[in-house]
């Protein structure tokens, strides 16, 4: 009986710690100037929070079949297709850490440079489970590079 009570107390303690970490994450994600995202390797679903928002349900954009969704929406500049495929491979293979710069179409055919940075979280068996990352607007940096 004592073990059961200790187990329940430990579960409550862990749930409280988890809630604290969720709140910290919400606060920090609201302070950054980039888009934060999570990619679930087993499902191919990428969940992105809006720029400057938390990861609450109302703040998230859920993109099922990330690779196919991006391609079918025509968001990737054709010249950057190889880099986009490398990004998708890193996501699905669970590369430990990566960074890719890709041009994406936005309003009325205008393009913008985005940097996708990701870090993989592995399960207890060493298999890639989730990739946590951020998307940065590096458009000005890339345009400055082209001028020099």
Which of 83, 99, 84 lies closest to 135 in space, CA to CA?
A: 99
- The pLDDT of residue 53 is above 50: no
The answer, yes or no, to whether residue 57 has pLDDT greater than 80, is no
Record the tokens describing residue 145, joined without a space.
Answer: 């590079």
Q: What is the pLDDT of residue 15?
A: 81
Q: What is the mean pLDDT of the chain?
A: 84
Global pTM exceeds 0.85: no
Q: What is the mean pLDDT of residues 96-112?
A: 91
Q: Name the band, by pLDDT with cuts 50, 70 and 90, for residue 9.
A: confident
Report which listed range, 27-31, 53-57, 103-107, is most confident. 103-107
């Amino acid at each position: 009986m004592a073990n059961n009570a200790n187990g329940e107390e430990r579960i409550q303690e862990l749930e409280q710690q988890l809630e604290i970490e969720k709140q910290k994450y919400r606060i920090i994600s609201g302070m950054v100037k980039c888009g934060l995202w999570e990619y679930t390797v087993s499902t191919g679903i990428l969940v992105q929070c809006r720029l400057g928002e938390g990861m609450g349900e109302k703040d998230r954009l859920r993109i099922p079949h990330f690779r196919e969704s991006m391609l079918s929406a025509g968001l990737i500049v054709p010249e950057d297709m190889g880099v986009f495929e490398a990004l998708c491979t890193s996501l699905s293979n669970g590369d430990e850490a990566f960074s890719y710069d890709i041009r994406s179409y936005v309003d009325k055919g205008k393009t913008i440079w985005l940097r996708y940075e990701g870090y993989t979280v592995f399960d207890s068996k060493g298999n890639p489970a989730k990739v946590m990352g951020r998307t940065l607007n590096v458009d000005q940096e890339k345009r400055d590079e082209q001028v020099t």
